[in-house]
Amino acid sequence: MLRDKVLTVCALLLLSSLLITMIPVKAVEASTSDVILSEDAEEATYDEWNARWTRSDLNSASGDDYFCRLAHNNHGGSHAIYASRVGFNSHYLVPVTMADGSIGYTQAWNVNATGLPGETSQSQWVPRYDTNQDSVMRKAVVGASSYGTVTLTFWFWSDTGASDAKQPLTGASVGYDFLNVVYWTGSGDSSTKQVLWTDSSAQASAKGWTYATVQVPNTVTYIGFEFVSGTTAPQGGDASDAFTSSGVKVVDGGMREGVYLDDITLTGSSSSDGPIAMETSVDNLAQVQAHRNFNVPYTTNNPTVPIGQVSLYYRQGTSGGWTHYGNFTSSPISFTATSDGTYQFYTRAWDTNGAGESQAEAPDATTIVDTTAPTTTISVTGTSTGTNTYSGSASFTLGYNDASSGVNATYYRVDSGSWILYDDSTVTLTNGGAHQVQYYSIDRAGNKEVEKSQAVTIETTNPVVTFPEPAKKFTSSTATVRFQVTGSSDITELWASLDGGKNSSIDSSLSSITFTDLTAGSHRVTIWAKDSDGRWGQNMTTFTVDLSNPTDSTDSGMTLTLGDLSSSYNEGDTVHLNWTCTIESGEIDHFSVLVDGDVVATLRPQMTSYDLNGLTVGSHEISVLAVNSNGNTTEQSVTVMVRASGSGGLDGGSWGISPEMLIIGGLALFGVVAAIVLVYMRSRKMY
């Protein structure tokens, strides 16, 4: 009996050991606390850091602004993540030297509001974020469902201000430019974004490093950060003259420094019950690849049954079937693209028992392969006088295209001057002579186009003065001489002299000049014209004044009426002249404004007002002279007094008190006195 019992016990022990071998058990459980991912921005190279995160600008219509790594401000080590280094800032214009030696302006980078990257060291940069940002960076999270609790910790430094910024998902007003912690559930392109945490107004403007702890759902598949700014500059931004010493212009309001991130850690704790299934995912890939051979890293969790191998699948484009690239046992996988274009990837794991991971429903990662430089074209317009030759001026625009990743920036320069960021506007060349316009583009993968060049020659001439009515005869002592000025550039100055007398400056827009109180006989007038390129032109004509049968200027058929003017003004006041003029027949040629008999302005016939400034102290006769096409005139005058500052007077003087105010004040004073008398009489019982 004892032997039978011993045999029975041995049989049961053997059976138990077989059952234990056959039934899967949780061979490995998630530890009490595991680091799922960490980021301290201290990778050896920028490219290594760049490959770890997917970065985007969800408001790219206002210009691309991406998160980037920067050695300017950090919590630990030598680098931190900044929102955002990459992108041009619409609020800061930095000076560049043009081909003709003049100063032009181009937008600064977000990374340095006082200059262009490469011109100064990072320690001297002045980072500023831009308006209209919705900058996002995210990273895939694998295995979070294996933990009961998932916690995100990070340090951030913020300098933003009050603005009209809104939450992108809901449109709710936040009231200041802010930082979000965001997460996604689901996989690949079908994942859903949600906001988990937003910094407070006090934290946003703290200008110091702040530690944050955020609980994350264990259903998370991507974790990330989002920086959002409003449509207008924040309160407390740079003053308009903040960088005058550097020649930088601040436009539409100054900005503030923005947000830095450092020492990011995502931790899982409190293991879940039951066996842990396999989970693998392709890590975030750089948005663009400049080479067809690149690494595809992937992440696995720590499942109950160990992973034996991982299969990589890809497709070119964003739809269609998938291609099995191969099976691998370590990350990263070296991948070679067959051509430029968009590529999508996912992984599927196989355990040591041959069981496969659940099939992916969407791609894990997407990247664009771009090994081809963009192309830029130039279009030149103007009055052509030959091959690449234009009269007076020429304008050009640049067109650009990149079939894969898109154009990041286009630059041009004229005659070996400074390179200028092209902003899609028309560029005009006016300087005479031969010019070379050079231009190129860079795509988002960093491919730079070979510089191109376009020859442009501008033919310019001196201004030409002509007189359409040479040797004209006038029958009154007033003569209006017409002239025309033509040239390849804008006319900036006109001068005139009569009978070899003193040269006088006249309005550069005039096409006639009037002389009064002329004597009978022959006269000559000379007109000088100067253009914007500094060239001069001149011409002379003669005219005759015959007073043997003078025209009665009072019978001009014109009726001129001056508007009301005050009889006196203070020194420095503007005298606003206005008038109406009718004519029975013919046309009004022009109006002249005279002060004390001297012509101070000659105006087109459409003008019916003029502002006089700078009248000296004393009495002045102000006249408006109307001249018709036959040279006949009519004139109206008024006398005004200009008082010295502080002279006072019954009319209010420099105190600005009008006669009406004096009358009202006098009546008020009379009322006060009458009331006092009435009270006194009642107190004395005088009635």
Give the pLDDT mean for 646-658.
47
pLDDT at 110: 62
Confidence band (pLDDT; 50, 70, 90) for 62? low
Residues 307 and 265 placed together within one structural domain of the fold? no
What average pLDDT is seen over the chain? 83
Residues 304 and 445 placed together within one structural domain of the fold? no
Which one-letter amino acid corresponds to residue 163? Answer: S
What is the C-alpha to C-alpha distance for residues 612 and 623, in angstroms, rounded to an integer? 11
Confidence band (pLDDT; 50, 70, 90) for 26? very low
Residues 271 and 146 placed together within one structural domain of the fold? yes
Give the pLDDT mean for 236-255.
86
pLDDT at 531: 85
Position 41 in a domain: yes
What is the C-alpha to C-alpha distance for residues 659 and 230, in angstroms, rounded to an integer? 52
Between 296 and 125, where is the model more confident?
Answer: 296
Residues 675 and 621 placed together within one structural domain of the fold? no
Contact between 179 and 264 under an 8 Å Cβ cutoff? The reply is: no
Least confident of 64-73, 511-520, 642-651: 642-651
554-589 pLDDT tens trace: 456 788 899 988 888 998 899 999 999 998 877 888
pLDDT at 680: 63
> 324-361 b/e with 16+ CB inside 10 Å = b?
ebeebeebebebebeebebbbbbbbbbbeeeeebeebe
* Whether residue 477 has pLDDT greater than 80: yes
* Whether residue 12 has pLDDT greater than 70: no
pLDDT at 102: 67
Position 133 in a domain: yes
Among 303, 338, 369, residue at a domain's last position: 369
Contact between 308 and 298 under an 8 Å Cβ cutoff? The reply is: no
Reading the block at residue 463, the tokens are 């201004």
Between 453 and 28, where is the model more confident?
Answer: 453
Dihedrals φ, ψ of 575, to 5°? -95, 115
Cis peptide before 84 (omega within 30 of 0): yes
Residues 539 and 562 placed together within one structural domain of the fold? no
**66, burial (CB in 10 Å: exposed 0-12, middle 13-18, buried 19+):** buried
Residues 206 and 72 placed together within one structural domain of the fold? yes
Contact between 127 and 186 under an 8 Å Cβ cutoff? The reply is: no
* Whether residue 72 has pLDDT greater than 50: yes
Whole-model pTM? Answer: 0.50
pLDDT at 651: 44
Residues 520 and 568 placed together within one structural domain of the fold? no
Give the pLDDT mean for 187-211.
87
Confidence band (pLDDT; 50, 70, 90) for 652? very low
pLDDT at 431: 82
Give the pLDDT mean for 376-394.
92
Residues 286 and 388 placed together within one structural domain of the fold? no
* Whether residue 418 has pLDDT greater than 50: yes
Give the pLDDT mean for 105-128.
68
Position 485 in a domain: yes
Task: Find the angle CA(581)-CA(583)-CA(584) to the nearest 5 degrees.
Answer: 150
Residues 141 and 65 placed together within one structural domain of the fold? yes
pLDDT at 315: 95
Residues 451 and 495 placed together within one structural domain of the fold? no
Give the pLDDT mean for 282-310.
90
What is the C-alpha to C-alpha distance for residues 57 and 80, in angstroms, rounded to an integer? 19
Position 22 in a domain: no
Residues 349 and 437 placed together within one structural domain of the fold? no
Confidence band (pLDDT; 50, 70, 90) for 665? low
% of the chain beyond a pLDDT of 70? 83
* Whether residue 32 has pLDDT greater than 80: no
In a 13 Å sphere around the CA of 303, the CA atoms on its Cβ side amount to 21
3-class secondary structure per residue, 203-259? HHCCCCEEEEEEEECCCCCEEEEEEECCCCCCCCCCCCCCCHHHCCEECCCCCCCEE
* Whether residue 58 has pLDDT greater than 90: no
320-351 pLDDT tens trace: 999 999 999 999 999 999 999 999 999 999 99
Give the pLDDT mean for 654-683.
62
Position 439 in a domain: yes
pLDDT at 666: 66
* Whether residue 649 has pLDDT greater than 80: no
600-641 pLDDT tens trace: 888 888 889 999 998 899 999 998 988 877 667 788 999 999
pLDDT at 541: 92
* Whether residue 653 has pLDDT greater than 60: no
Confidence band (pLDDT; 50, 70, 90) for 14? very low
pLDDT at 57: 82
Looking up tokens 């060049």, which residue turns up? 453
Cis peptide before 470 (omega within 30 of 0): no
Pairing relationship of beta strands 575-583 and 609-612 according to DSSP bridges: antiparallel
Residues 84 and 161 placed together within one structural domain of the fold? yes
Contact between 95 and 102 under an 8 Å Cβ cutoff? The reply is: no
Reading the block at residue 536, the tokens are 């001069």
pLDDT at 9: 43
* Whether residue 670 has pLDDT greater than 60: yes
pLDDT at 13: 44
pLDDT at 25: 32
Q: What is the CATH number of the domain that holds 628?
A: 2.60.40.10
Position 452 in a domain: yes
User: How many independent structural domains does the chain possess?
Assistant: 6
Position 410 in a domain: yes
Among 398, 426, 459, residue at a domain's last position: 459
Give the pLDDT mean for 346-373.
90
pLDDT at 644: 86
Position 602 in a domain: yes
Among 276, 303, 335, residue at a domain's last position: 276
> 539-551 b/e with 16+ CB inside 10 Å = b?
bebebebeeeeeb
Reading the block at residue 660, the tokens are 């009406």
Between 302 and 394, where is the model more confident?
Answer: 394
pLDDT at 551: 54
Reading the block at residue 91, the tokens are 């609020």
Least confident of 117-131, 174-188, 496-510, 634-648: 117-131
* Whether residue 37 has pLDDT greater than 80: yes
Give the pLDDT mean for 449-458.
95
492-527 pLDDT tens trace: 999 999 998 888 999 988 888 999 999 999 999 999
Confidence band (pLDDT; 50, 70, 90) for 269? confident
The range of the structural domain enclosing residue 509 comes to 468-545
* Whether residue 30 has pLDDT greater than 50: no
Give the pLDDT mean for 110-121.
62
